C-alpha cells in the first residue's frame, strides 16, 4: 500500500514501475499520485496519519493491522470498526 494515497499496487506493477524509473533514471515516485516516495519510517507514518485524518478507509484498516501485529488488539478493533 502506498502511504501517500493509500492505493494498493500489485507486485508485478510495482516491479515494472521500479524498473521503468531505474532505466530512465527517474525519481522514485508513487505511480498513482506522483508524490515522492518517503525516505524514512517517520515520513511513512506521517503520510499514513494524514490519510487516517482524512477518513481514508484503506489507511484506517491498515492501521488496524499494524496495531494488531504490535499486540494492541483493542486499538486494532477500534480502527477496524471505524474503517
Residue 52 binned pLDDT confidence (cut-offs 50, 70, 90): very high
| SS3 state at 5 | coil
What is the average pLDDT score of the chain?
Answer: 92
DSSP H/E element including 2: none
pLDDT at position 2: 87
Predicted TM-score (pTM) above 0.85: no
- Average pLDDT score over residue span 59-75: 95
Nearest to 3 by CA among 44, 31, 33: 44
Share of the chain above pLDDT 70, in %: 100
Structure confidence by residue, pLDDT tens digits, 18-39? 999 999 999 989 889 999 988 8
Amino acid at each position: 500500500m502506498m502511504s501517500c494515497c493509500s492505493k494498493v499496487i500489485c507486485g508485478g506493477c510495482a516491479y515494472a514501475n521500479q524498473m521503468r524509473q531505474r532505466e530512465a533514471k527517474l525519481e522514485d515516485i508513487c505511480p498513482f499520485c506522483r508524490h515522492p516516495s518517503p525516505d524514512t519510517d517517520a515520513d511513512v507514518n506521517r503520510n499514513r496519519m494524514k490519510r487516517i485524518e482524512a477518513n481514508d478507509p484503506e489507511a484506517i484498516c491498515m492501521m488496524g493491522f499494524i496495531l494488531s501485529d504490535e499486540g494492541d488488539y483493542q486499538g486494532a478493533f477500534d480502527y477496524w470498526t471505524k474503517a
